[in-house]
Structure 1
Amino acid sequence: MKGIAARAALWSARHRTLAILGWIAFVIGVTVLAGQFQTIEATGADQGHGDSKKADQIIDGAGFPEQPAGEMVIVQNRSSSDRAAAVADVTAALKKTANVVDVQPAIQSPDGRSSLVTFGISGDPATASERVGPPLDTVASVQAAHPDLYVAQGGDASGDKLIGEDLDKGLHTLSLLSIPVTLGILLIAFGAVVAAFLPVLLAVMAVVAAIGLLAFASRFAPAVDTTMHVMLLVGLAVGVDYCLFYIRRERDERRNGADPHRALVIAAQTSGRSIWVSGLTVIVAMAGMFLTLDATFTSFAVGTILVVATAVLGSLTVLPALLSALGDKVDAIKIPGLYRKRSDGRVWNAFLGLVLAKPLISAVLAVAALGALAWPALDLRTKGEGIEDLPPDAAIVQAYKAVEEAFPSSISPAEVVLQGRVDQRKITEFEKAVGASDGRLAGPVEVKVNPAGTVAVVSVGLADKDALPLLREDVVPAVFGPSALVTGEAAGEADFNARLNASLPWVFGFVLGLAFLLLLVSFRSVVVAITGVVLNLLSVAAAYGMLVFVFQYGHFESLLDFHAADGIINWMPLFLFIILFGLSMDYHVFVLSRIREGHDRGLTTRQAVREGIGRTAGVITSAAVVMVAVFALFATLPLASTKQLGIGLAAAVLLDATIIRAVLLPAVMALLGEKNWWLPRWLGWLPQIAHEPPPAPEAPAPSRELISA
């Protein structure tokens, strides 16, 4: 047998006990060891870019006393009630509250309708969310005592607690739902409990093992806290798909009359090889995130590569061993009304007949539909994550919005970092420049100096988005010189966007180029490779358009519980491109392998397309439904980023499995005919890879004794 997948399947079938026990030992072993080593999480020093990162590193090394996590309480008139009494009550109550330090006198808003009381949470700022409960209760009691006023608390600690609790609850629910939803879909697809249970079991084990491996990988690339959620998303999708492809082909060959060994050999030689090529393509796509030089993307790349590689490993080793051990018992516990010995695919074949009868019209209609969906993407804008990306009805969101409107410079001030002794004349000059900025820079200007007197941090409020360029490009260089650095939330976001924009051409070029080369080598066709890349780009463009339509233009706001913003989360387009491009290759490689298999047997291209897509339509539909269901669950989480991720992935996979694979791909291949397989002579050195399953062994010739008898 030729090929890695086939040799792995043959070895696993011959040593199935060793393969099964070895897989179980591998999963348990890495999980136990990971618990001993722990996963190293990325810190602020690992993240950031440009001047803001340099400034943060200077501050971290300057020896400033650790500042408590800052919180604020807004007391606002919403009627004619007296605000002074409520301000006095909240100030006095906070001073007596556990974990509260440094309560400051209230400041008044310019419009005279609001008062702001600031204070800190004692202890390590990183864990302040664990100690912010008492002040939240205090503020709630003051609000209850003054129902005619609006009294609310906001800050990093309270935000982390309230939103974190909602997010953890949502992720827990998602984890509980994703597995039974996937299992339910597979029960309908297979009609047998054992066959449906195997892909879910192996996918979950692959995710668990990959998370264990992440603990070791984090020594080289620290992990961000959302990496495990992305691993669950990708791992469950590809793990189930790979097993689904393999089991479906093995079952089909058994129903075609092949003995158990030959059925497994054919599944390994065809679907197993497709899994290997598809997994490699997905890994290559994910590796493109390394080129961003960003800690978050690097963590995502490591996590997704680990989970895809683990899913491929399980599909090519333990799955053949299980199929060999189970034999026809893989169809055990049949579900009445759902189990079918053979799917006739009547609906898909009839639809495919229409497409192949009028390929040009079908292609034009498909491209027009995708173009209409992608059209809003021309208006795609990006933005950093902000308070508007949280659930609009959350108490912390309403508090932040009230503070932002009444005290716009108090939410996220910029910080100018100066090295050397502080020149008070420069500070005075800076204060004058802030006063002359027409309100775009807002005071008061605050100065903090480290104990050694070698580093100063000058804080100033930013009234709008245009204030940061004014501060960085005009005011700071003119007053403090070019060595002064600006950091803060707005500066960090600007530097992140600059880094992302600089890396986009490299990431896109890397992913597209490597995907083209993998398809070229796998199918020995320039046309097939170009077609694959173009079709995947169409699905990504349509997904972008749908994101803009929903999240920028504000459609389905009430259904998805969000407020439209003026842009998509800045890291979302690049991340979606990489994930979608990788996952689209699952279907594309699987379908193309089946088409090439028919062509290698001597069928015309049109016949091979009809047979290949017709025979894979059922399994492609099942795999797509699994992915769409798992991805759609992410849209139920409270953050706009998770909603965009879920909707973008679900929409793209749905389009990819329907319009692209069922209409555009067969139509384009039918139009191109034998040109699909064009390969220049100078590329003739590419390796020959057999797509057709190995021929059945001939029956032995009868003996002379039998003939004479």
Structure 2
Amino acid sequence: MTEVNKPPRLGGWTRFVTARPRLSLLVALVITALAVVAGSGVADRLGSGGWEDPDAQSTYATKALEREFPDSQPNFLLLVDSGSADVDDSAVAAEARNLTARLAAEPGVTGVGSYWQADAATAPSLRAKDGHEALIAARITGDESTMSDTLDRMAPHFRGTHGPVEVKIGGIVAVRHEMQTIIKEDLARAELIALPVTLVLLVMVFGSAVAALLPLGIGIVAILGTNAVLRGLTELTDVSVFAINLTTALGLGLAVDYALFIVRRFREELSGGAEPLQAVGTTLRTAGRTVLFSALTVAVSLAAMLVFPQYFLRSFAYAGIAVVLLAAAAALILLPAALILLGHRVDALDLRRLFRRGRSRSAAAETSGTSAFGAPGEKGKAWARLATLVMRRAPFFALGTTAVLVLLGLPFLGVKFGTADDRQLPSTSESHIVQQHIRDGFPGSPGGGLEVLAEGKATPAQYTAYKDRVAALSEVVRVDGPLVKGDSAYFTVTPKGEAVGDDAQRLVHDLRATDAPFDTKVTGTAAVLVDSKHAIGERLPWAAGFIAVVTLFLVFLLTGSVLIPIQAVVLNALSLSAMFGAVVWVFQDGHLSGLLGFTSPGSIETTLPVLMFCVAFGLSMDYGVFLLSRIKEEYDRTGDHNGAVRHGLQRTGGLITAAAVILAVVMVAIGTSRVTNTKMLGLGIALAVLMDAMIVRSLLVPAVMRLTGKATWWAPGPLRRFHQRFGLSEGGHERPARGAGDGATSHDVPADRDGDGSPHESGGIRALR
């Protein structure tokens, strides 16, 4: 057998994956079935909080108050509406006292109080300004699951009409319970939207219904597997209910991305005459390596959230890393097994054949699943012409695109950080209505006060002196207390303005700086916000540094260049500017709130920008890897820098765009949620993905690479030799550059060709052809 006709040897990984395809699929089916069982009911075990720093002063004080003074921490409210009557009307008061007594008798409820039982000092804050509404407050005890069960049991008995009054349910327990319920309902609706739309888009991309179903199947396996992982994690730590949305979005989106590249390369190999086993081997050595490297870059960005103490952010790291690795594993193990069994039948049920009448089978096969991605064909030529145009006017496109992205990001300079509250819910939700009535109609800031925990022995005179010092602070409206129990006491401080406004946040710092003869800890909504901002600000440089360093290292392993990793990090960060600007303009400032159906709280929840950056940066690197690997491969082969950039965009531009559109569809489906944070996450990341694929990868990257020229590939001698030894390659070795001295570029000569005259496959992880 001649070298030309000899099929390539199968590597160890390829032999492992392809040895028993039927057994692989059977095992996968069994594992998936077990994952369905293990992950069932996972949403019911997820928490709806997690925005606070568990090690913060405010968290300590909150737990101490719950333990020592449970009545000081009401988390359940009944809004009693007397209609046209006054809340002091005898019939209204009698019914309200009856409701208060019934609530106090409920198991799992403590600290019940109401306007009709309050003393003269606190009663005004529990009565609406118009005199037609008043509050009954209580505390539901237990963990989140127990509180949710208690609420489910009680709510039907208190909600609705009771004689002369109408009762609505509110409080933090009700807000979180309603949020959890809505997220579960919205997630089911998002899946019903995303799955069929994604299938339609995949059919349009591949033509073949069989090929289109493969990425969808990989996505479903990844989602079900991650649900099982999250269910297991709930036994060990708190996990946010919001993380399940990321599981669906990334599981489906990335699985589709990875399967797109693998299925397309497999079909190309088949159309070139390869047998299925040989085609799978070539696919795994090329597209498979690219998928693996891409998954690592996404996982690195998501892992950075483990730096932060808030379990809201850590939950997204757990879910994200799990779903990325499972999507990659399914694409690299299950998908090849399915492709071997399908063989040429992967093109079965080609729904585009109706539009190809009159064309030969060979001509159809030559472009099937190819031109749609920007490979050879008219669409590929269009991407090549775009690359030529951009590089011919590189300064204009580089400066113009950068200016546009910076301009779109300017609104973020006015960002205001806040806490998640009932305004995350739709305006029609019961708990949101209750809290909005309290904000608009009740004096002061009910539920928005600050509490000072005092620990240590003190005399009444010392308590009085401290209270006077606090009352003298400029941001204070009123100080109540102290309530003393043993060696502990607490004061309630009402700040001026909004519960989490600038005055309240300044007051937190002032209270913590106020001298006292005992230890003091400050908590309350504003204190939680201050501590959360501090925790994020303190750890943000570490997270950003981790992402930057690991990304620089991985891209260096891919390219062998010093400049390209820096370009990748800077351009990726720049591509996110439009997302951050839109988040502030839309969700903080309230533009389009009517169209999108949400209530703007006038701020952005503190953890959301961190989450969105980590997710969007990882996805940007996902697309960057596919483009850079293709450019690198061509430059290794020809030594023509401009031609490599043009070739890379021609080969991957359409493919990246198709993948981005599909992922954006999934994120927009998530963005239809009625919970504002989820809506912001879905729509914001959809925008970032589209901007990255259509603007940054198509215009900014080729323009910048044209400006940097062959210096793009420069590396100092030690790093060049490190890359030659440890860099990622497709087999074979790069030839040494001309001039072995330090500072030479690492790719000055074309790569060798194999015995059959085809280009030698060397260099970094290759993108698909």
Contact preservation (8 Å) 1:68, 1:123: no
Asked if 1:54 corresponds to 2:60, the answer is yes
| Matched pairs, number | 688
| 1:89-125 Cα distance to aligned partner (Å, 9 max, x none) | 6505525757767452433458852342314376647
Asked if 1:524 corresponds to 2:560, the answer is yes
> For residue 53 of structure 1, what is the amino acid of its counterpart?
T
SS of the residue aligned with 2:239?
coil
Q: 1:172 to 1:47 in 2, by over 3 A?
A: farther
Q: 1:281 to 1:353 in 2, by over 3 A?
A: same
Residue 529 (structure 1) shift: 1.1
Asked if 1:250 corresponds to 2:276, the answer is no
Sequence identity of aligned pairs in percent? 28
> For residue 284 of structure 1, what is the amino acid of its counterpart?
V
* Structure 1 residue runs without a partner (length 5+): 700-709
Residue 152 (structure 1) shift: 4.5
CA distance in 2, matches of 1:349, 1:473: 59
Partner of 1:117: 135
Residue 475 (structure 1) shift: 4.7
Map residues 402-413 of structure 1 onto 2, 5 A cutoff: 402-405=437-440, 406-413=442-449
SS of the residue aligned with 2:494?
strand
Partner of 1:71: 77
> For residue 351 of structure 2, what is the amino acid of its counterpart?
I
CA distance in 1, matches of 2:51, 2:610: 23
| Alignment equivalent of 2:412, drawn from 366, 377, 386 | 377
Contact preservation (8 Å) 2:147, 2:173: yes
| Alignment equivalent of 1:211, drawn from 221, 227, 243 | 227
Partner of 2:742: none
Partner of 1:704: none
Q: 1:333 to 1:482 in 2, by over 3 A?
A: farther
Contact preservation (8 Å) 2:453, 2:490: yes
SS of the residue aligned with 1:19?
helix
* Structure 2 residue runs without a partner (length 5+): 1-5, 117-122, 357-363, 372-376, 733-752, 758-769
Residue 65 (structure 1) shift: 8.5
Asked if 1:140 corresponds to 2:160, the answer is yes
CA distance in 1, matches of 2:731, 2:583: 42
| Alignment equivalent of 2:327, drawn from 288, 305, 311 | 311
Contact preservation (8 Å) 1:382, 1:567: yes
CA distance in 2, matches of 1:288, 1:338: 48
Instruction: Compare 266-275 and 32-41 and name the one that shifted more.
Output: 32-41
Map residues 165-564 of structure 1 onto 2, 5 A cutoff: 165-218=181-234, 221-336=237-352, 337=354, 341=365, 342=367, 343=371, 344=377, 345=379, 346-405=381-440, 406-421=442-457, 423-433=459-469, 435-437=471-473, 440-445=476-481, 447=483, 449=485, 453-464=486-497, 465-466=501-502, 468=504, 471-475=507-511, 478=514, 480-481=516-517, 483-564=519-600
Q: 1:335 to 1:141 in 2, by over 3 A?
A: same
SS of the residue aligned with 2:448?
coil
CA distance in 1, matches of 2:511, 2:564: 56
CA distance in 2, matches of 1:271, 1:535: 24
Partner of 2:765: none
Contact preservation (8 Å) 2:32, 2:224: yes
Q: 1:463 to 1:140 in 2, by over 3 A?
A: farther
Q: 1:128 to 1:446 in 2, by over 3 A?
A: farther
Instruction: Compare 329-338 and 522-531 and name the one that shifted more.
Output: 329-338
Contact preservation (8 Å) 2:408, 2:581: yes
CA distance in 2, matches of 1:468, 1:435: 14
> For residue 550 of structure 1, what is the amino acid of its counterpart?
V
Contact preservation (8 Å) 2:76, 2:174: no
Q: 1:261 to 1:516 in 2, by over 3 A?
A: same
Q: 1:152 to 1:251 in 2, by over 3 A?
A: same
Contact preservation (8 Å) 1:94, 1:135: no
Q: 1:469 to 1:194 in 2, by over 3 A?
A: closer
Residue 584 (structure 1) shift: 0.9
Partner of 1:12: 17
> For residue 113 of structure 1, what is the amino acid of its counterpart?
D
Contact preservation (8 Å) 2:57, 2:523: yes
Residue 659 (structure 1) shift: 0.5
CA distance in 1, matches of 2:473, 2:159: 36
Residue 442 (structure 1) shift: 2.9
CA distance in 2, matches of 1:242, 1:203: 10
SS of the residue aligned with 1:317?
helix
Partner of 1:702: none
| 1:58-103 Cα distance to aligned partner (Å, 9 max, x none) | 44665968977431325488x7x54533742650552575776745
> For residue 442 of structure 1, what is the amino acid of its counterpart?
R
Partner of 1:707: none
Q: 1:30 to 1:635 in 2, by over 3 A?
A: closer
Instruction: Compare 207-216 and 297-306 and name the one that shifted more.
Output: 207-216
Contact preservation (8 Å) 1:224, 1:299: yes
Map residues 77-116 of structure 1 onto 2, 5 A cutoff: 82-85=86-89, 87-88=92-93, 90-92=95-97, 94-95=99-100, 102=112, 104-106=114-116, 107-108=123-124, 112-114=129-131, 115-116=133-134
Contact preservation (8 Å) 1:557, 1:564: yes
Residue 551 (structure 1) shift: 1.7
Residue 329 (structure 1) shift: 1.0
| 1:528-561 Cα distance to aligned partner (Å, 9 max, x none) | 2112111101112221112122123322111111
Contact preservation (8 Å) 1:68, 1:120: yes
Instruction: Compare 301-310 and 457-466 and name the one that shifted more.
Output: 457-466
Contact preservation (8 Å) 2:505, 2:526: no
Q: 1:257 to 1:594 in 2, by over 3 A?
A: farther
CA distance in 2, matches of 1:571, 1:125: 23
SS of the residue aligned with 2:161?
helix
Partner of 2:29: 24
Q: 1:112 to 1:45 in 2, by over 3 A?
A: closer
Residue 384 (structure 1) shift: 1.6
Residue 280 (structure 1) shift: 1.1
Residue 130 (structure 1) shift: 4.2
SS of the residue aligned with 2:420?
coil
SS of the residue aligned with 1:460?
strand
Residue 513 (structure 1) shift: 1.4
| 1:397-431 Cα distance to aligned partner (Å, 9 max, x none) | 23212212313332233222222346333343344
Contact preservation (8 Å) 2:479, 2:491: no
CA distance in 2, matches of 1:479, 1:332: 78
Instruction: Compare 643-652 and 373-382 and name the one that shifted more.
Output: 373-382
Q: 1:167 to 1:300 in 2, by over 3 A?
A: closer
Map residues 622-633 of structure 1 onto 2, 5 A cutoff: 622-633=658-669
CA distance in 2, matches of 1:430, 1:571: 35
Partner of 1:666: 702
Contact preservation (8 Å) 2:71, 2:138: no
Partner of 1:703: none
Asked if 1:569 corresponds to 2:605, the answer is yes
Q: 1:293 to 1:360 in 2, by over 3 A?
A: same
Structure-1-length-normalised TM-score:
0.87
